[in-house]
Chains A and B, each alone.
Chain A
């Protein structure tokens, strides 16, 4: 009995020590992550978390500044010289690597490392399938014997995303990833022209077995880049810890945004359950949390003085938008007047206010207002008006001929009542509630809306197969120029994301022109035209762009929010005095 009591006392003492022992005086940031990363291999990864953490350890040639959204050089000395050779159809980027740019062992970053990196993105047998298609356009590398730091990346087509894709690679040290020089004899050219042969190459197979192994996914010493942070630890399902390097080559540029590295340690902490994460935040066990549910953000955080004393609550804009999609080949939605009428039946302001807790902005089209030149601010959204909707529907021939309260029309000799099946992904209650607001208004115009939840994979499959009438969808854009082809081109109706069957000759022509237009001002004019076209055709009812909901501890100063996900840039954080 006595022994038991002793153990109990020790246990309680330990509890007390572990629970209140940590004083938050260290220059470390604990950032909430909703899920764990899949790996930390810079070309085989799949999850968004991986891309985010890898980005702290590896560097690109050039990348987007999260505040002004402009490309800025990192490993490259300056932004590359962009030349299009129209006779060969080749687009080239020529640049020099910074003199100081070095790996951790002190050796300089060379064009060979960069060529090796491109091979990692493109080679067969490696587990890089999800990243490989983006690099289809990188055709070859040219080096210069007279200048060991100069090189040219050759792209096989004129494409607006070529620059950000070619420069956005995570440059990898060859001495770490290929110590046996197995890839030396396989050139980028070979991979591009003799893919099947390379696949059978014994060196390639041996290299792949190493490169795909766990070692290069998660082991210390095998995840090495030239970035400001080094890999310290990854406890699966719990956290990834990155530590600031000593004597890092980029320190002399520390006042440039893309070279900043304030915190000594970045600790990305997995907390799966939202309630648990919020509780941990309030108890200051987490410093930063993003993606907080609007309801919790308003009701639990914004109203609490205790929270506001310890945290800055930020709501930067996001690149996402949500929409109601309509099936343009369904006889009910074929007529543009009907689509406009339905647009008039969605009370977007009410949805934002009631369901979004006013944490969002209305959008009028697919281009984010943040992309200033490309965004068309002359478009006015369809206002909420049941009367306008009724008139448009009547013009399109929809009338309540049988007096049953629902409008109808003769289509191909058959009477069709205006009933809409509206699908959303099951479990997303805010989408359901928004649909119900629409349902109520539609009822006033004589339309029955049936709101139906679908399990995620079925919901997605139905969109791909165009098997829907109306659905609630959303898109997230990036900081690179928008390529509208995936969503709006008729060639994307099958195999792409043009679920709603949008498009005509004019829109296709505009999209093709945008994709090949490297001059930004000309391209912006095209974007603006495309937005007008989409607005007039009304294939989507554009709803809103939600604001990010972020809490950041007041332990840090120098915090600026950004439209780029995750909405903050932890490298800028400095300890408050």
Chain B
């Protein structure tokens, strides 16, 4: 739960010190402007996330079908391939990623339609070698037909050996991109075709031969040096995710069509197969509750402690606090969490807290009971989530306060004869808050990432667990929605921090400077 991205210096040049910060109407314009800037920022974030996800290794459709590789029965190859193709189409994975793709003139613009990832790779290599995607693509479909033909032949004891051999060779066509290797396969194929029951393979085989000859004779290798931009139109994954496929006007007849992110339809999870919005709705409450409590606790404890140890800088109190805080800060929370569960949750030692989220109390059972139950389950996770950030914040608060106390105006205040309390809390404190506010901006996203460990450890059914599972399973719609959500939170965090600057520091103002 440690804030990661911390900017400790705020560069504002104090020019004219206006008497009061104006946090009234003009601020509204500023906020509006900032919110308008959010939109392109979010667009870029969604795009980057989308491209990163698409580029990551692994194929969600494949892992969905082989749910536990090797378990149980070997499914029929044809049926399996068909289910795989349909699933890819259903999930939209057969579409290009974005409106346009950059590449060379030789590159293949329809490659995403090829179902298997290893086939795609072979074809990409082949296109690089020969530079003529149209020919290569028809060669590929010829091999497809040949495979289909060989799978349709009924195997009996007479043709079993050559047929198996042929099927094996056919499969190898999908992996070879070099001329010699393919010629070798063609040669081997001819050798095994002798059996009369395999006559139906003659025609498709010939088609493969001619298609490959066409690939060889029409090489346009030079094309791979010409950059090109392929326009994919609206039929792309990003468009579909953003805008959906359902009709915009009138009623959509097919209830299975999605509406798209922009219309508040976050899609269907690949794995849970339920709307992402309802998955998030189920899990966000507890995560937000913990996050808000953690932030509150951290700040409420860290600010007074930091200020006090800055005031008593060098005292025994200060050095004790410093030592303890450094120790706390350096203890990883997953380790402390594990230790806490081991010693405090009713194993071999004390039985004070629950080892996992075992609540079966609902709000209907009574408000107080539910509250007590929540507290019972939350105390340990909160402690584990808070101490690290608390230690860090206290150090920041102390450091910034110490800096302020060195300033001339503090000395002036003392020499005016003001008492300690007024100087520390009215003059120094407010000015020392800026770095803490900066940290606040990054607290939200840090909490969401921290929630993953915390929720795993204590089996808290929150957003962190949903995100973690989605990443492991390559559940694109869930990952995307959660990333967008974290991005919005981060942006809001920065906005809130900027507004707080103005509240705290009179020198910072967002009104257009009229002097």
Contact = CB atoms under 8 A, between A and B. Distances in A.
Interface string B146-170: 0000000011000011001101100
B221 interface: no
A271 B355 contact: yes
Interface in B418-451: none
Given A39-B272, A237-B465, A283-B351, A493 B168 contact: yes
Contacts of B154: 89
Contact of B372 (A10, A48, A306, A476): A10
A537 interface: no
Contacts of A270: 356, 459
Contacts of A134: 73, 75
B171 A275 contact: no
B161 A494 contact: no
Contact of A478 (B72, B81, B82, B171): B72
A387 interface: no
A90 to B, nearest CB: 13
Given A272-B456, A493-B171, A38 B272 contact: yes
Nearest to B170: A494
A494 B345 contact: no
A489 B64 CA distance: 24
A223 to B, nearest CB: 14
Interface string A292-333: 000000000000101000000000000000000000000000
A413 interface: no
A273 B71 CA distance: 25
Interface stretch (A245-253, A256-264, A391-399, A454-462): A454-462
B172 to A, nearest CB: 7
B70 to A, nearest CB: 5
Contacts of B167: 490-491
B70 A487 contact: yes
B57 A15 contact: no
A27 interface: no
A125 B347 contact: no
A512 interface: yes
B382 to A, nearest CB: 14
Interface stretch (A95-103, A209-217, A335-343, A433-441): A209-217
A119 B65 CA distance: 19
B69 A285 contact: no
Interface string A482-514: 010111011111111100000001001100100
Contacts of B15: none
Interface in A23-77: 35, 38-39, 44, 46-48
B254 to A, nearest CB: 6
A78 interface: no
B356 A277 contact: yes
A193 interface: no
Nearest to A51: B67
Contact of B83 (A133, A304, A494): A133
B315 to A, nearest CB: 29
A525 interface: no
A275 B337 CA distance: 10
A272 B255 contact: no
B373 interface: yes
Contact of B161 (A275, A457, A465, A509): A509
A141 to B, nearest CB: 18
A236 B461 contact: yes
Interface size class of A (residues with CB under 8 A): 35 or more
A357 interface: no
A475 B70 contact: yes
A202 B458 CA distance: 47
B164 A490 contact: yes
Contacts, number: 235
Contacts of A280: 345-347, 355-356, 358
B375 A282 contact: no
A276 B341 contact: yes
A465 B120 CA distance: 13
Interface string B353-375: 11111111100000011011101
A565 to B, nearest CB: 10
Interface residues of B, number: 87
A428 interface: no
Interface string B76-87: 111111111011
A19 interface: yes
A256 to B, nearest CB: 25
B64 A238 contact: no
Nearest to B339: A275
Contacts of B371: 11, 14
A478 B271 contact: no
B352 to A, nearest CB: 7
B342 A275 contact: yes
Nearest to A199: B86
A11 B372 contact: yes
Contacts of B171: 491, 493-495
Contacts of A522: none
Contacts of B256: 125, 205, 208-209, 212
A279 interface: yes
B459 A283 contact: no
B60 to A, nearest CB: 10
B412 interface: no
Interface in B441-487: 456-462, 465, 469, 474
B459 A457 contact: no
A486 B341 contact: no
B408 interface: no
Interface stretch (B105-113, B275-283, B388-396): B275-283
Contacts of B67: 46-48, 130
Contacts of A461: 57-58
A276 B459 contact: yes
**Residue from A279, A489, A505 having most chain B Cβ neighbours under 10 A:** A279
- 9 residue pairs, one from A and one from B, having the closest CB atoms: A14-B372, A237-B461, A283-B346, A486-B74, A494-B171, A209-B255, A136-B79, A279-B347, A133-B75
9 contacts: A11-B371, A14-B372, A205-B254, A238-B459, A279-B342, A283-B346, A464-B118, A478-B73, A493-B168
Interface of B: 57-58, 63-65, 67-84, 86-87, 90, 118, 154-155, 160-161, 164-165, 167-168, 171-172, 174-175, 253-256, 271-275, 278-279, 282-283, 338, 341-342, 345-348, 351-361, 368-369, 371-373, 375-376, 456-462, 465, 469, 474
Given A129-B65, A237-B283, A276-B459, 15 more contacts: A14-B371, A19-B376, A136-B78, A236-B283, A237-B460, A279-B345, A306-B348, A465-B118, A486-B70, A489-B164, A494-B174, A494-B175, A495-B80, A496-B74, A512-B160
